[in-house]
Amino acid sequence: MKNILLSCLAAASLALSFCFDKTPDALASAGASAPALAEASLLNGLLGPKAATPTTGDEPATVTASRDSLAYGYYAQTLGVHLAHTENQSLLQTITNWLGTPYSYGANSRRGTDCSGFVTQVFKKVYGITLKRSSRSMFSTVQRVAKTDMKAGDLVFFRHGKGAIYHVGIYLKDGKFAHAACNGGVMVSSLHQAYYQHNFYAAGRVAGAESLSADATPAETAELLSAAASARPE
């Protein structure tokens, strides 16, 4: 009986040893992808809904400041701009999420979009503002601003010579703007590039968008959007 008991214990020990030995092996085989998984986990924490934090002491403010700083750093690197950490994070995140979306004429989804479709979806998501669908009709509803006075969220319009407006994008900073290009989908380009510098026509500001901050209360948001809707011509 003693021998049988010892044999059972030995078999159990061997089985447990086998199970635990599999964990390091599995981790080793996944070692190449560990950095990517860690980065994805970090970005999900940064860009996703903010986790609940304690309500006592100074920790919540510290955690928020740290999260915001890391998020702004990520957006700056991804979008290729220098940020002052005061920009609208919702705008930066939404544009970042759309990067790489393929171009598709007449479409406005993450599966494919054209330039005006991209702009309308970003403004709907970030500001709750419904823009007109074509770049030419958008231009008729904005307030013109000088190229030197452009701010993040302003629209930039392009045309060939004296022809009609054919393209629109969203200005970011440092001469950079986000747009859906027919030869590359949603991307960030520079107004200093020869093609865009030559075809740049004007910049415009959408009523309400310049005043709506990411920290606005629901009441402030509703008031601003109501004012914007009444200010925009039909």
Give 94-152 pLDDT, tens digit per residue.
Answer: 999 999 999 999 999 999 999 999 999 999 999 999 999 999 999 999 999 999 999 99
Nearest to residue 132, comparing CAs of 151, 149, 117? 117
Catalytic residue status for 8: no
Amino acid at position 86, single letter:
T
Q: Does residue 66 form part of some domain?
A: no
pLDDT value, residue 17: 40
Query: Of 113, 116, 117, 114, nearest to 136 (Cα)?
Result: 116
Candidates 82, 85, 115, 160; catalytic one = 115
CA within 13 Å, CB half, 173:
17
Q: What is the pLDDT of residue 48?
A: 54
Res 53: pLDDT: 43
Residues 35 and 99 in one domain: no
Whether residue 138 sits in one domain with residue 39:
no
Tokens of 71: 């998020």
CB 154 within 8 Å of CB 163: no
In this prediction, residue 159 carries a pLDDT of 97
- The answer to whether 181 touches 100, Cβ cutoff 8 Å, is no
Judgement on whether residues 105 and 161 belong to the same structural domain of the protein: yes
Please provide the size of the chain in residues. Answer: 234
Q: List the catalytic residue out of 167, 182, 192, 198.
A: 167
Active-site residue, 179 included: yes
For the chain, list residues with pLDDT below 70.
1-59, 210-234
**Domain match, 31 and 140 both:** no
Distance of alpha carbon 15 from alpha carbon 21, whole angstroms:
10
Residue 176: which domain range? 87-231
pLDDT at 211: 54
